[in-house]
Structure 1
Amino acid sequence: MKKRKRRITLHVRKKVTVLQKLNESDIQNFTVTDLKHLNGSLFYYDFQPRYPLAKALPVCEVIFEGKTVFLFEFPVSFEAKIESKIAYHFQKKRGEE
């Protein structure tokens, strides 16, 4: 009798935070204010209006620049919107300086 081959499944992350995406990008010298602004605006202006019936998102606590920051854990399907919002935020920020 032949042995069945086991399927190998890779662990896929199910949540993504703004801090993860900032660290993955080439953007340097972002501040805690940038992090808080992006996190809040993504949730209140983008996620909540798109998914009004969704349950509250889980929150993780992170210490960044010596300050405690609460970050929403967005679903992976929202990853492209996070990247887009980060790019727009820092493009606009460079234009103001």
Structure 2
Amino acid sequence: LVLPEELVNHYLIHNGGIPSNSFWILEDGCSLWVKKFLPIKFPVGTERTLEDSYLLMVAKNVMPNGLMPFAIDHGGNYFCIDTSGEVYFYAVD
């Protein structure tokens, strides 16, 4: 899995966290709201790490094997990255 440089830099500094700019309106008019980035090194409170979230979603057959969740929205849906570096919004409900 190749992570984009911006995401790598974020994790090197923050280990997850809440973004300062968390709301985006896309070209098609849809809006996205990132609640928080999943921690990569150590869990924060009861929060699952990036790896724990991935393993749980794959084990439950909720998420395809090639997507790695790195952030969530307020509904618990995931923002994921695939092996080519493309970013996807993955609704789990």
Bigger radius of gyration: 1
Looking at secondary structure, tell me which structure has more strand per residue: 2
Q: Same fold (TM over 0.5)?
A: no
Kindly indicate whether structure 1 or structure 2 has the higher relative contact order, using CA contacts under 8 Å at least 6 residues apart. Answer: 1
Question: What TM-score, normalized by structure 2, do the two folds share?
Answer: 0.26
Looking at secondary structure, tell me which structure has more helix per residue: 1
Question: What TM-score, normalized by structure 1, do the two folds share?
Answer: 0.25
